Chains A and B, each alone.
Chain A
Amino acid sequence: GENVEQHPSTLSVQEGDSAVIKCTYSDSASNYFPWYKQELGKRPQLIIDIRSNVGEKKDQRIAVTLNKTAKHFSLHITETQPEDSAVYFCAASSSSASKIIFGSGTRLSIRP
């Protein structure tokens, strides 16, 4: 089955700097890669996703990249702000399996 690995597990960056979180997946049939943000005590919520027919997607300060050959994808947050502090999860899914498998999460802290 699918296995998603995520790193780093914790990340601390200065406010205004960029943050990068990386994930790898094992199942070559995976073709959908969502990213979720979970604030303390809250539910995970989708912030951006990418499908395997594109290599990059941007939404304001957030971007995701996908390398299908290497089976890895990344989340990039630019100009970080205090409200970006949260746990971020990558995930992978395939149209044949439907189930969504999550990485272990990255706790991002923004230093003022």
Chain B
Amino acid sequence: DAGVIQSPRHEVTEMGQEVTLRCKPISGHNSLFWYRQTMMRGLELLIYFNNNVPIDDSGMPEDRFSAKMPNASFSTLKIQPSEPRDSAVYFCASSLGQSNTEAFFGQGTRLTVV
């Protein structure tokens, strides 16, 4: 398996534009997580899914952020409209979803909003 795949690797956009980040989890994994990493706040859990269903989105900073998982092999994180303070590295991770198993991270998307 190629691991968790995220796209794009880098995204530079202007304030106010819509940004869509994409993730393909490892085949067979039932849990998917979206994290945001910044120097100030570290690794923040934004939302996670079990079996394609959003379980906890309490980490989503505000209504400008939304996430979907239409099927077991694809998820998106959308920011609309984007703001400079959204600049960060966004990681997607997946796990088997059973009790207490390792989460495998994608390579991340570095988002810069200017």
Q: Which residues of A contact B (CB under 8 A)?
A: 1, 31-32, 34, 42-46, 49, 51, 89, 93, 95, 97-105
Residues from chain B with Cβ under 8 Å of A51 in the complex: 100
Q: How many inter-chain contacts with C-beta < 8 Å in the A-B complex?
A: 52
Give the distance to chain B from A5, nearest Cβ to Cβ, in Å. 11
CA distance A101 to B45 in the complex (A): 7
B43: Cβ under 8 A from any A Cβ: yes
Dominant secondary structure of chain B at its interface with chain A? strand
- Asked whether A99 and B45 contact (CB < 8 A) given A43-B91, A43-B107, A43-B108, the answer is yes
Residues from chain B with Cβ under 8 Å of A104 in the complex: 42
Give the distance to chain A from B38, nearest Cβ to Cβ, in Å. 11
Cβ contact within 8 Å between A45 and B105: yes
- Asked whether A49 and B102 contact (CB < 8 A) given A43-B107, A43-B108, A98-B31, the answer is yes
Look across to chain A and name the residue whose beta carbon is closest to the beta carbon of B31.
Answer: A98
Residues from chain A with Cβ under 8 Å of B31 in the complex: 98
Residues from chain B with Cβ under 8 Å of A31 in the complex: 99-100
What are 18 A-B contacts defined by CB distance under 8 Å?
A: A32-B99, A34-B102, A43-B91, A43-B105, A43-B108, A51-B100, A89-B42, A95-B99, A95-B100, A98-B48, A99-B33, A100-B33, A100-B103, A102-B35, A102-B42, A102-B43, A104-B42, A105-B42
Residues from chain B with Cβ under 8 Å of A101 in the complex: 45
